[in-house]
Amino acid sequence: MDTTKTAAPTAPETDAAEDKPVTGTPAEAGDTAAPAGAEAEAEAEAAVDAAGQEPGESPDDDETDPLPERPTGVGSAAAALTAAGLGLIALSGSWVARVMGERQTLIGQIESANATTAKEKIAALYGDAWHMTALVNGLLSTLALLLAAAVLAAPAFGAPGRAHPAWVRSVSWAAVALGVLGVLLFGLMYFDLLVPLPTAAE
């Protein structure tokens, strides 16, 4: 009878496999960490970009928002030129004033038939027509003065930094001067202070 014992089978070589060093170069080992580093850098850049924007603001907000409209001043320039034109027309004699004066002359001729004195006849034939002409031209001068004053006062009641150009202010001041001159001149003429009516011996 064979009494020799067989040798015990050897243990699995798992421990030996665990003790084996990691093969491969350091560059191959670093390749696995490279994507993670790039992703972290991209997230950091995105965070910086988001910090520079307000909440709820998209990057295209500055490009899509229209620029604020700035006043062009066309209305003020037109008003200043109109005021200066009215002042010149009033001083030189307007067509409206001439027509109104001629109409008043016709009315005076009709009324002069009932006049009993020379003073009444002169007033009816000439005085009323002169007064009507002075009144109409004086109203035009007053309108020019008010319009020019409104143009000069507009920046005080408008938005800050809305001053008129220099030439608009110059034309407005010229219109103010013409308007003041017209109001004084035609006012004195209307009340017979500058050019009184002639008198005739009765």
pLDDT at 67: 47
| Residue 147 pLDDT exceeds 90 | yes
Helices (H), the chain: 14-18, 26-31, 34-51, 61-64, 74-92, 95-111, 118-122, 128-157, 166-190
Residue 177 lies in a domain: yes
Range of the domain at 86: 75-190
Q: What are the residues whose beta carbons fall under 8 Å from the beta carbon of 103, sequence distance 6 or more?
A: 132
Confidence of residue 75 (pLDDT cuts 50, 70, 90): confident
Average pLDDT of every residue of the chain: 76
Q: In this predicted model, what pLDDT tens digit does every residue of 32-70 receive, in sequence order?
A: 444 555 676 767 666 655 555 544 545 444 444 454 455
Residue 101 lies in a domain: yes
What letter would DSSP give residue 43?
A: H
pLDDT at 52: 52
Q: What is the pTM of this model?
A: 0.62
Residue 166 lies in a domain: yes
Confidence of residue 174 (pLDDT cuts 50, 70, 90): very high
Burial of 104 (0-12, 13-18, 19+ CB in 10 A): buried
Q: Please give the tally of structural domains in the chain.
A: 1
* C-beta neighbour count of 35 within 10 angstroms: 9
What's the rounded mean pLDDT across residues 127-151? Answer: 95
Residue 154 lies in a domain: yes
Q: In this predicted model, what pLDDT tens digit does every residue of 153-167 receive, in sequence order?
A: 988 887 555 678 899
Q: In this predicted model, what pLDDT tens digit does every residue of 77-92 receive, in sequence order?
A: 999 999 999 999 999 9
Which of 13-22, 73-82, 113-122, 147-156 has the least mean pLDDT?
Answer: 13-22
What's the rounded mean pLDDT across residues 167-179? Answer: 95
pLDDT at 119: 86
Residue 112 lies in a domain: yes
80 within 8 A of 172, measured Cβ to Cβ: yes
Residue 123 lies in a domain: yes
| Residue 114 pLDDT exceeds 90 | no
Residue 37 lies in a domain: no
- The larger pLDDT score, comparing residue 129 to residue 42, is at 129
Using only C-alpha atoms, what is the Rg of the chain? Answer: 50
| Residue 95 pLDDT exceeds 60 | yes
What's the rounded mean pLDDT across residues 3-20? Answer: 49
* Rounded (5°) CA angle 191-200-91: 35
pLDDT at 29: 47
